[in-house]
Amino acid sequence: MDIKKIYEKIGFPRLIISTFLIILLITAATLKLPMSGIWQDIFTRFGMNAILVLAMVPSIQSGIGINFNLPLGVIFGLIGALISIELGLTGFASLFVALIVAIPLAIIGGYLYGLMLNKVKGQEMTVGNYFGYSIVSFMCIFWLVAPFKNPELTWAMGGSGLRVTLSMESSMGGVLDKFLAFKIGNVVFPTGLILTFILLASIVWVFSKSKKGTAMIVAGSSEAFAASNGVNVDKQRIIGIVLSTVLAAIGIIIYSQSFGFLQLYNAPLYVALPAAASILIGGATLQKAKIIHVIIGTFLFQGLLVVALPVINILSEGSMAEIIRIIISNGIILYALTRKAGEAA
Partner 1 sequence: MMVPIVFLVLCLGGFFLSGLPVNFLFNEMVFRLSRNLILVLSLIIPVISGMGLNFGIVLGAMAGQIGLIIIMNYNIGGIGGLFLALLLSTPVAIFFGYLVGKVLNKAKGKEMITSMILGFFANGIYQLVFIVLAGRIIPFSNPNMLMSTGTGLRNTIDLNIVRKSFDGFIFSGITSYPIFTFIITILLFVGLYFFLKTKLGQEMRAVGQSMHIASVSGIDVDRTRIISIIISTVLAAWGQIIYLQNMGTLNTYNNHEQVGLFAVASLLIGGASVDKASWKEAFIGTFLFHLLFIISPLAGQNLMGNAQIGEYFRVFIAYGVIGVALLLHAWEKNKAITQLSDI
List contacts with partner 1 (CB under 8 A).
Answer: 68, 116, 119-123, 125-127, 129-131, 133-134, 136-138, 140-141, 144-145, 160-161, 273, 316-317, 319-320, 323, 326-327, 330-331, 333-334, 337-338
Q: How far is CA 234 from the centre of its chain?
A: 25
Residue 84: closest CA among 155, 27, 157, 166? 166
* Closest approach of partner 1 to the CB of residue 155, in Å: 12
Contact present, 333 and 273 (Cβ < 8 Å) = yes
* Closest approach of partner 1 to the CB of residue 56, in Å: 15
Nearer to partner 1, 213 or 297 (CB): 297
Dist CA 248 CA 76 (whole Å): 9
Nearer to partner 1, 122 or 342 (CB): 122
* Closest approach of partner 1 to the CB of residue 175, in Å: 32
Nearer to partner 1, 168 or 241 (CB): 241
Dist CA 20 CA 5 (whole Å): 21
* Closest approach of partner 1 to the CB of residue 149, in Å: 18
Helix (H) or strand (E) holding 165: strand 165-167
Q: How far is CA 165 from the centre of its chain?
A: 19
CB neighbour class for 327 (10 Å; exposed up to 12, middle 13-18, buried from 19): exposed
Nearer to partner 1, 176 or 286 (CB): 286
* Closest approach of partner 1 to the CB of residue 144, in Å: 6
Residue 71: closest CA among 279, 269, 239, 278? 269
* Closest approach of partner 1 to the CB of residue 178, in Å: 36
Nearer to partner 1, 3 or 145 (CB): 145
Contact present, 295 and 50 (Cβ < 8 Å) = yes
Helix (H) or strand (E) holding 183: strand 182-184
Nearer to partner 1, 117 or 175 (CB): 117
Burial 262-283 (b: 16+ CB within 10 A, else e): bbbbebbbebbbbbbbbbbbbb
Nearer to partner 1, 260 or 331 (CB): 331
Dist CA 260 CA 270 (whole Å): 18
* Closest approach of partner 1 to the CB of residue 22, in Å: 22
